[in-house]
Structure 1
Amino acid sequence: MDKKSIIGIAVVAVLFLGFAYINSKQQKEYLEKKEAYEAYMDSVARATRPAAVPAADSTAIGEAPSGATAEEAAAAVRERQVETLGESLTTAREAEPEEFTVENEVMSVRFSTRGGQITGVTLKDYTKYAPRGERNQLIELMDPATARFGLSFYVKNGLRNIPVNTLDYVFTAEPETTTADGAKAVVMRLPVAEESYLEYRYTLYNTSSPERDYLVDFDVRLVNMAREMANQTQIQIDWANTTYQNEKGFQNENMYTTLAYRFPGETSIEELGMSDGAKSKNITTQVSWVAFKQQFFSSVFIAPENVSYANLAFDTAAPESSLLKTFTAQMGVPYTPQTEGYDFAFYFGPNKYSILKKVDDPKGADLHLERLVPLGWGIFGWVNRWCVIPVFDFLRNYIASFGIIILILVLLVKLVISPLTYKSYVSMAKMRLIKPQVDELNKKFPKREDAAKKQQAMMELYKKAGINPMGGCIPMLIQMPILIAMFRFFPASIELREQPFLWADDLSSYDSVLNLPFSIPFYGDHVSLFALLMAVSLFGYSWFSYQQTASSQPQMAGMKFMMVYMMPIMMLFWFNSYSSGLCYYYLLSNLFTIGQTLVIRRMVDDQKIHAIMQANAAKKSKGKKSKFQQRYEELLRQQEAQQRAKKK
């Protein structure tokens, strides 16, 4: 491996280390500019379009006359409410709410008749991390005290328009029923007037397909409501909840927790991005679903017919509060007097690629919920989707330990690139063999103005020896998409969650073998043994690689500090709070690379390579120069002529 190869590897490694920071910074700047532009366009649109919903009557609902007794005041307030809302809504406003739970094999869903809404979801197959390492508490997707889901619309009362928010009213609930296919149905109704009511129908599945088990169909029906509804073009949806911290390490989980959404017809999704504070976004176009996304679990509101607009926001909780983020989404769905209802759905479950990939809308269209799993963009995402995930899924059918699966994955990767690794070593061996000739060229062209001639002579020497100057770093370039793909895969893979291996109790999080009484900047307050071993193995690999290169390239001594010392230290600081499965993968990769190189070293005969080089040089010295080489030499001659002309 020559000097250019080593510099190339160092540059690629530095780029890899700075990839997340630079990408997030550029994305943040782009989103800020985009949000400012969209906010400006939204303000222009609001100023030029008529109001979608008529203004509500300003008369307060239920005011008691002064000087009345308590009974008279209560009667007066109710009379006023009946006059304004009608008997049905007034009764619903006064009713006492009830709560009940409906379950299937994988989750338990809590309902409240206040607003007819879902106030809590418990996942039965997953537990949350506790500070002492205990896992005896099931995952709760939302805080019941802050969960809300309501519809807002206007009803007519003579010449007045009365606002109705379903969160202010108590629905009547029918007993849980079981459908013919084994699903459980919950029906709740809000009477608005005589023979006119709003109906919610929730359906929980309990089938053999996991993607249906986590899906809750939510059908909204407007029964005889056209005569009661005011003139309006939208019904507003108000959805919000606060999520709990479920993983080890607040900052790492918060980094993957955000609000995501998808535009109709797109295969990709959009996110509000990472933030430790608050963030919001107003979307004036249609969206097909909105997700309150955590690192490993999501609550998704699905609107197959799409919502018209969405005002989205989140705020981050304090690290010591046991909460994570508060999400809010205000959305609008189109309404006309002919509207009979809406077919919505919720997904409450894990961010598991194999499950999310199969969730579709009632018409069978792909919702692309699998994009909630952050596998990376471009080639990195392709590597994960088409290589890593299928291999993992296949091996999981036969091997219980994910530590062994990761080991096999490393072996497969090394086996695939072994021919390139062999060529890389042969290229380095050739560089060692031609070192005396390289030294002669350095002595022959010592001056800087002779650089072009020296470069031309070096290229001629490489050609005769059959050396590709980039051959030494080709395996590294091939591995970079795999390494970055793994960097995205392991922290996002719920399959690794709660999976122990050796001293690590959870391969999706860091493995702390020592908790420090203080926090070190950029490092943390704990010692991750897999991260430490990975850094040591990287030091060993870098030292080994440097020794191989320095023997043929003495000028590489200036790169020693960066390659051998600085890089492992940077990786240790960066990966101390990352997935232990990722550190374990990089540890094995470094160890196998060293072992692979030692094996190839024993297989390769330098004398045989030297004989082949001499035979190739003899053949090529008799051969005719290629057109590319002729043009390259002509270019060098022109550069030399220009330099001589400048000196004159």
Structure 2
Amino acid sequence: MDKNTFTGLFLIMIVLAGSFYFFKPSEAEMKKERERISIDSASKAGVKHAPAALAENAPAPQLDSAALKGPFGTSISGTATTSVLENEALKLTFTNKGGKIKAVEVKGEKTYLDKPVVLFDGDENIFGLTLNVGGKLVKTNDLYFTATKTANAMVMRANYSADKYIEFVYDLQPKSHNVGFNINLKGMNQVIQRDSISLDWETVLLQQEKSLKNEQQYSAPYYKYADKNPDHLSIAKDETENLSKAKIEWIAFKQHFFSAVLIPADPFNKVNLAVRILTEPGHVKGYAAKVNLPFNQLDAQNYKMKFYFGTNQFKVLKAQGQEIEKLVEMGYWPLKYINRFVVLPVFNFLESFGWNYGLIILVLTIALKVVLSPLTYKSYISMAKMRILKPEMDEIKAKVGEDNATLLQQEYLKLYKQVGVNPLGGCLPMLLQLPIVMAFFFFFPNLFELRGQSFLWMHDLSTYDDFIKFGFTIPFIGDHLSLMCVLMTISTLIYTYFNNQVSGATGQMKYIGYIMPVVFLGVLNSYPAGLNYYYFLANMLTFGQQFLIKSMVNDEKIHNILKENKKKPEEQKKKSKFQTRLDDYMRQQQQVKTQEKKNK
């Protein structure tokens, strides 16, 4: 580089440095420009705050006087603060950001980690209106409200202007699980466009129970159409549904043992409901509801609703009305009727004595077995008859041979007819008892009363008792072994062995019964200890009943009765419906064979 070039570059640098120093903007000008950028950013985001103001407790960006006098000027930015409203049943934490309930604690209840039960908390809970104001969407969830607290109420207000505002009024009465909720849009009919607005509610369920997998299995968003039974979205997968077939009386974000229900004074016309399966630790599912609210631009609008926050206890939900108690799954038809009108009333009656729930289940099982004892007796007698007839059936089998199955069956049917035995007599009473056995399969896992109740070594009858923890997962079994489930399996094997002795089962039939208990060990290992305890008791009581019946029944006497029946003339034998059908069947078979011979 020569001397002239260097001198020229040096003089240019001096000129540039001087211009930056003498012509830089003043501090006041720089402040004004920062404020303009902040307001522009908020406007472009749809009345959302600038990035620095999104965090909780972030300092509010400074706005100039013109912005503060504009639409929602005082609500565009602010500092997030919280306040609490509580009674004997609930503790509600409100935030002025969005004017919403930030967290709900159900008092008197604990999680599996012995912490307070909080239905939802934090920024994952979104609640508010979406409005079309001046062609732009405004979400109240992003506005800063002014909070006014009284003894039983919390009033949240966001001012659009001096005489126009959005107001959320929450009311919590003593000892109540209900929270009144009113939306007042004072003067907003003059600025809101279109004939509807939307109420958006999103939340993430927090884990409350020991088994996250089981909690997900019993959690789903529910809804009820007018004049129809409540229904729910998928339990096992993500799903979105547009509810618009009829008026919607309520929507519920149901968890296993707790629920948040939104109940409008006037049914909703249209709701979009969604559920997501979450994989994050401690998160059960994600729910979202978008409610379409009609809007009249000719008058101020008010919407009255209420929340229910609390347990899924059947009698508590039933007191809410509108069939909200059907959030408690009682099983399919006819199981739900057995549970609701038979099992539940008996359980509630026994509960009134103040007994331990382990004792209540014991007494409930005994009462059930006493009521079903006639069926058990009939089943035992039928199986005893079949066992006594087995030598004669073996003789027929040896005479006819196993190759001609049709003829063999016909000979068996003749024998049954002669001695007056119904071969299905041992199965039918068992089948009649099966719905009750299956009803308990739905009853105990959904019974809130068992939650947190201990009995013997079982700390919580509403979940599994992990007596042995593996520290790793075994296929089909899981990461633990439930002692009550093991005892239930052993009792089932004992019952199967004794039942085979009564029925005289041989061959493959003798061993098939031993397979199911092993299958149940894997299936029921993660089910509530209360359910396995019931099945264990039912097996042992049935075993005791059959042992008692065996001591009372004389096989030789039964055999003599069968012989006497065999000697009676056909016209003196009283035919059962089953025997009549057997006669018809045999007659049809004979006609078919006769026709086949003629055709040949």
Q: Could you tell me which amino acid in structure 2 is paired with residue 530 of structure 1?
A: M
Deviations 1:429-473 (A, max 9, x none): 211222232223223322644x44443332232233222221111
Q: How many residues align?
A: 545
What's the counterpart of residue 426 of structure 1? Answer: 381
What's the counterpart of residue 461 of structure 1? Answer: 415
Distance 2:98 2:213 in 1: 34
What's the counterpart of residue 507 of structure 2? Answer: 557
Distance 1:517 1:297 in 2: 30
What's the counterpart of residue 516 of structure 2? Answer: 567
What's the counterpart of residue 305 of structure 2? Answer: 344
Question: Where do 5+ consecutive residues of structure 2 fail to align?
Answer: 1-27, 44-64
What's the counterpart of residue 477 of structure 1? Answer: 431
Q: Give the alignment's TM-score, normalised by structure 2.
A: 0.85
- Say if 2:563 is the partner of 1:589: no
Would you say the 8 A contact 1:256–1:274 is kept in 2? Answer: no
Instruction: Give the SS at the match of 1:510.
Output: coil
Q: Pairwise CA RMSD of aligned residues?
A: 2.4
Would you say the 8 A contact 2:375–2:430 is kept in 1? Answer: no
Instruction: Give the SS at the match of 1:378.
Output: coil
Tell me which structure has the larger Cα radius of gyration: 2
What's the counterpart of residue 105 of structure 1? Answer: 88
Deviations 1:161-192 (A, max 9, x none): 33221112122222223xxxxxx222222222
What's the counterpart of residue 237 of structure 1? Answer: 199
1:397 to 347, 352, 359: 352
Distance 1:630 1:516, change over 3 A: closer
- Say if 2:150 is the partner of 1:176: yes
Question: Where do 5+ consecutive residues of structure 1 fail to align?
Answer: 1-66, 178-183, 208-212, 361-365
What's the counterpart of residue 61 of structure 2? Answer: none
Q: What aligned pairs does 1:118-517 form with structure 2 within 5 A after superposition?
A: 118-130=101-113, 135=114, 137-155=115-133, 160-177=134-151, 184-207=152-175, 213-230=176-193, 232-275=194-237, 278-285=238-245, 286-318=247-279, 321-337=281-297, 338=299, 340-360=301-321, 366=322, 368-446=323-401, 448-449=403-404, 451-517=405-471
Q: Could you tell me which amino acid in structure 2 is paired with residue 265 of structure 1?
A: D
Instruction: Give the SS at the match of 1:431.
Output: helix
- Deviation at 1:264? 2.1
Would you say the 8 A contact 1:88–1:194 is kept in 2? Answer: no
Distance 1:311 1:86, change over 3 A: farther
- Deviation at 1:76? 7.4
Distance 1:176 1:561, change over 3 A: same
- Deviation at 1:297? 0.8
- Say if 2:45 is the partner of 1:71: no
Distance 1:273 1:322, change over 3 A: closer
Q: Could you tell me which amino acid in structure 2 is paired with residue 463 of structure 1?
A: K
- Say if 2:482 is the partner of 1:528: yes
Instruction: Give the SS at the match of 1:458.
Output: helix
Would you say the 8 A contact 1:496–1:507 is kept in 2? Answer: yes
Distance 1:85 1:346, change over 3 A: farther
What's the counterpart of residue 526 of structure 2? Answer: 577
Distance 1:580 1:370, change over 3 A: same
- Deviation at 1:397? 1.0
Would you say the 8 A contact 1:452–1:640 is kept in 2? Answer: no
Distance 1:628 1:312, change over 3 A: closer
Distance 1:71 1:431, change over 3 A: same
Would you say the 8 A contact 1:498–1:508 is kept in 2? Answer: yes
Would you say the 8 A contact 1:108–1:122 is kept in 2? Answer: yes
Q: What aligned pairs does 1:623-638 form with structure 2 within 5 A after superposition?
A: 623=572, 631-638=584-591
Deviations 1:472-499 (A, max 9, x none): 1123212211111111111111110000
Distance 1:561 1:458, change over 3 A: closer
Larger RCO of the pair (alpha carbons < 8 Å, separation 6+): 1
Would you say the 8 A contact 2:460–2:529 is kept in 1? Answer: yes
Distance 1:309 1:620 in 2: 73
Would you say the 8 A contact 1:84–1:162 is kept in 2? Answer: no
Q: Give the alignment's TM-score, normalised by structure 1.
A: 0.79
Distance 1:243 1:279, change over 3 A: same
Q: Could you tell me which amino acid in structure 2 is paired with residue 128 of structure 1?
A: T
Distance 1:101 1:549 in 2: 67
- Deviation at 1:253? 1.3
Would you say the 8 A contact 1:509–1:578 is kept in 2? Answer: yes
Distance 1:575 1:398, change over 3 A: same
